[in-house]
Amino acid sequence: MQTVRIGAVEEFEDRGKRVVTIGDAEIGIFRLGDEFHAWHNTCPHQGGPVCQGRLYALVQENLDEATKQSHGRLYDEDKLNIVCPWHGLEFDIRTGQHPGTSELALERATVQVDGGEVYVLL
């Protein structure tokens, strides 16, 4: 196994990312507050560069329970999806899972934070 230093924690903005090439692998490293997540940059749909996509908060309909009338949209900032730039499929940035099917998921890479430095283990 190879341990590769990616950079200092403070070099990553909250909700920021860095996509790096390590040997034959391309890895996207994402910071969400104190959490770091790393994914292989290959979409399970058709191989697009999913880590180059944008992060969006989960959109929910703000329904009145009694009338079922919509009062617009709500954005759940705790549930962030990355949207693949090729065909728009979304994946939970924390779990890598597509929200609609368990058959599509990102491939996780191991990321560690040690002494204020971010590392990927491949």
Contacting positions for ligand FES (CB under 6 A) = 43, 45-48, 50, 84, 86-87, 89
Q: Which is nearer to ligand FES, 84 or 109 (CB)?
A: 84
* Shortest distance in whole angstroms from residue 92 CB to ligand FES: 14
Best CA proximity match to 18, nearest among 10, 2, 29: 29
Q: What distance in Å separates the CA atoms of residue 119 and residue 11, rounded to the nearest whole number?
A: 13
* Shortest distance in whole angstroms from residue 48 CB to ligand FES: 3
- Are 4 and 110 a contacting pair, CB within 8 Å? no
Q: Which is nearer to ligand FES, 31 or 44 (CB)?
A: 44
For 69, how many CA atoms within 13 A lie in the half-sphere containing its CB? 3
* Shortest distance in whole angstroms from residue 95 CB to ligand FES: 17
